[in-house]
Amino acid sequence: MNKIQVSVIIPVYNVEQYLRQCLDSVINQTFKDIEIIIVNDCSPDNSLEIIKEYQRKDERIVLVDLKQNVGLGFARNEGMKVAKGKYITFVDSDDWIANNYVEVLYNTIRKSNSVFVCSEYWYYNNISREVTKGIAYSNVYDTVINSISYKKQLIQNLSFCRAWTTIYEKDFLFSNDIYFKVTKFEDTLFLYELIVKSSGVLFIKDRLYYYRVNRGNSITNNYIIDNKILSYGKIKKLNDNNIFKEYIPEFYTFISLDMAIILDNPKLPFKDLTRGFFKFREMFYDKKYVVSFSNLKIRNKIRLFVFKICLKCNFNYCYIGLIHSKFNPIRLFTKR
C-alpha cells in the first residue's frame, strides 16, 4: 500500500442494496493513496458479508466491526479513531462519489490554506431515478474565506450543509475537539464548531457527490422535532465559550428558521408540532434570544419575523402552517 494521504470513512447500516455501488465508487477513485475505513454499525442485513467480500479484493479496506449499534455520527467517530490519513472525508453508504472526488478535494485542500474544502453535490431520487442539482452551499467559490461576516452567513444556512462532500484536515479536527456529539442530525453541531473554529473555508463548484433521497426510511413525526431540539441545545451550550459569543444572533436565526420550516409541514401530526413549538420556546426564548435579519431572502425575513412574534406572544406558530396549507398566496412568501 502506498503512503496514506486520505482516509475515506464509510459508516454502514442496513444498506445491502446500495452498498456495492458506494464501495465501487470509492475503490475506483483516480487518487489511489487512500484507506477505506468501513464501520459496520451492527447492520442486520448482509452488509457485513459484502464488506468482507470487498476487503478480500482490496487491501486498502479497513473493517471496524462494532459490537453494538451507535448511530451514524458515532460510527463516524469510530472511523476517525483509526484513521491514518492526513485528511478525512465521509461517504454515506447509500450514496456514491464521482471517480475524481478524492483527487479534486485533496489537490484543492493541499493548495489552499483552508482546513476544510467542500464541493457541491447531486440529488439522486431513488424513486424516479432522476438526478438534479443539490442546493448550493455558497455563492463564493475557489476563494479561501475566513472573515467573521462570511462565517455568520454560513451559520444562518446550516440546514443546507452536510458533513459529506467535504475533506477535512485531521489534525485540525482532533486538536479542536471536533467530532460527532449527537446521534441524530449530527452534522449540524459538527459543522457549527467547524465553521466557527476554522481559519479558512473553501467551496468549489464541482459536483462530485451523489446523495440518494427518497429511500423511505427517514425520521418522521415527533422524532424530527425532538432530535432537532436536542441538537440545538448542544450548540447553545457552546455559546458559553468566548469564541462562539459573536455568533449568537446567527445561531438563533438558524434554529428559528430551521424549526419554522419543520412546523410548517402539514404532514406531521398537529399535536406533535404544537408540543414541539412550545418545547422550543421553553428552551430557547429568553432575554438572550436575538436574531439577525441580514443576508436573508425576503421570504425568510417574513418567516423569521412571524416566528419571533409568535414566540414573544406565546402564540402557537403551528397555526401559521395550517394557513399555509390552505392559502397559496400567503405560502408564497414563506415557502422554503
Helix (H) or strand (E) holding 154: helix 148-156
- State the pLDDT at residue 159: 67
Find the mean pLDDT for residues 112-121. 93
Same domain for 181 and 236, yes or no, is no
Q: Which of 180, 196, 213 is the last residue of a domain?
A: 213
Predicted confidence at residue 326, as pLDDT, reads 64
- Are both 279 and 137 inside the same structural domain? no
Q: Let me know if residue 201 belongs to a domain.
A: yes
Would 1 be classed as within a structural domain?
no
Give the C-alpha separation, 115 to 59, whole Å. 28
DSSP string for 232-288: HHHHHHHTTSGGGGGGHHHHHHHHHHHHHHHHT-TTS-HHHHHHHHHHHHHHH-STT
**Quick one: how many helices (H) and strands (E) in the chain?**
13, 9
| pLDDT band at residue 241 under the 50/70/90 scheme | confident
Whole-model pTM?
A: 0.89
Q: In the numeric block, which cell numbers belong to residue 106?
A: 485533496
For the chain, the domain total comes to: 2
Q: Give the DSSP letter of residue 296.
A: -
Residues 13 and 122 in one domain: yes
Q: Are 164 and 230 contained in the same domain?
A: no
| Three-state SS letters, 77-110 | HHHHHHCCCCEEEECCCCCEECCCHHHHHHHHHH
173 plus 291 within the same structural domain: no
Query: 179 and 258 in one domain?
Result: no
**129-143, 231-245, 310-324: which range is least confident on average?**
231-245
pLDDT band at 322 (very low <50, low <70, confident <90, very high): confident
CA 185, CA 219: separation in Å to the nearest integer?
10
3-state helix, strand, coil in the chain (%, to 5): 50, 15, 35
pLDDT band at 163 (very low <50, low <70, confident <90, very high): very high
In this model, does residue 334 exceed pLDDT 60?
A: no
Give the phi and the psi of residue 142 in degrees, each rounded to 5.
Answer: 60, 25
Over residues 87-106, the mean pLDDT reads 98
**Best CA proximity match to 179, nearest among 9, 3, 4:** 9
User: Is residue 127, in this structure, part of any structural domain at all?
Assistant: yes
List the CATH number of the domain containing 181. Answer: 3.90.550.10
Residue at 10 is within a domain: yes
- Residue 330 pLDDT more than 50? no
Interior CA angle at 9 toward 224 and 150, to 5°? 65
- Residues comprising the chain, all counted: 336
Domain-embedded: residue 68: yes
CB 89, CB 105: distance < 8 Å:
yes
Mean local confidence (pLDDT), 20-29: 98
Are 140 and 195 within one domain? Answer: yes
Domain boundary among the residues 184, 213, 242 is at 213
Q: Is the pLDDT of residue 328 over 60?
A: no
172-212 pLDDT, tens digit each? 999 999 999 887 788 888 999 999 999 888 999 999 999 99
Across the chain, what does the average pLDDT equal?
90
Are 14 and 148 within one domain? yes
**Domain range holding 179?**
6-213
- Predicted local distance difference test score (pLDDT) of residue 244: 86
Does one domain contain both 265 and 187?
no
Q: How large is the average pLDDT for residues 146-171?
A: 88
pLDDT tier, 243 (very low <50, low <70, confident <90, very high otherwise): confident
Range from 170-179, 208-217, 322-331 that averages highest in pLDDT:
170-179
Is pLDDT above 70 for 1? Answer: no
Last residue of a domain, one of 154, 182, 213: 213
Q: Is the pLDDT of residue 75 over 80?
A: yes
Give yes or no: residues 35 and 89 share one domain.
yes
Mean pLDDT of 149-162: 83
- Could you tell me if residue 83 is inside a domain? yes
Q: What integer pLDDT is reported at residue 184 of this predicted model?
A: 79
Dihedral (C-alpha) 208, 33, 71, 233: value to the nearest 10 degrees?
Answer: -70
Is residue 178 domain-shared with residue 228, that is, in the same domain? no
- Residue 334 CB partners (closer than 8 Å, separation 6+): 260, 264, 299, 300, 302, 303, 306, 320, 324
Whether residues 46 and 195 share a domain: the answer is yes
3-class DSSP assignment, residue 292: coil
